[in-house]
Structure 1
Amino acid sequence: MSKTIERTEMRSITSPGFAMQVDKAKYDAMKDALLAAVPKGKPGLTVAEVKAGVLPLLPEALFPGGAKAGWWLKGVQLDLEARGLIARENVKPLRLHRL
């Protein structure tokens, strides 16, 4: 028997009105790690700093050796921006903070 994967909707701040269905377990794991790693308020952290903080928080069973973590980090980052939970600073390199 094949295992049914529960899905959830992931949005994007860069594509209003667009949503895709993704693996809920991976989405939730990355969302929890991202919200734990990103500080509240400015100046926030660079995306590289966020990724370094997120990787140790991810379950090995879902992200073995950090596999695909970069894709999920970007996708969940854009989703959380669309939902108004995190924001980016318009600086280089890009910085993120929780609202």
Structure 2
Amino acid sequence: MRRWCDQRVPERVRDQVRIECEEGARHLTIVECRAPWRAESGSEWTRLPVARLGYTRTTGAWTLYYRDRNLRFRRYDLVPPTTNVRELLDEIDRDPTAIFWG
């Protein structure tokens, strides 16, 4: 997962933007991080959740979620749950509905 995040952003711009993965007990959240762009904003990077991969222990499957305009995660129903996380990452890369990257 970390390798996938690193590959999303060219090294030459990582001082301005990066993609990270936050780990929860049964989920992974993909987060877009941006450097401060105004002095009055302070020195903290902004963090915007892009997608979440939820894990179901009983089935061993991962489910993809998108973040809605109210900052809640909703199930992305264009791909079924899968035991292969790569399939979900490929869907985020393709982003056919522009729901993840705009």
With the length of structure 2 as denominator, give the TM-score of the two structures: 0.24
**Structure richer in strand, relative to its length:** 2
With the length of structure 1 as denominator, give the TM-score of the two structures: 0.24
Whose RCO is larger (CA < 8 A, sep 6+)? 1
**Structure richer in helix, relative to its length:** 1
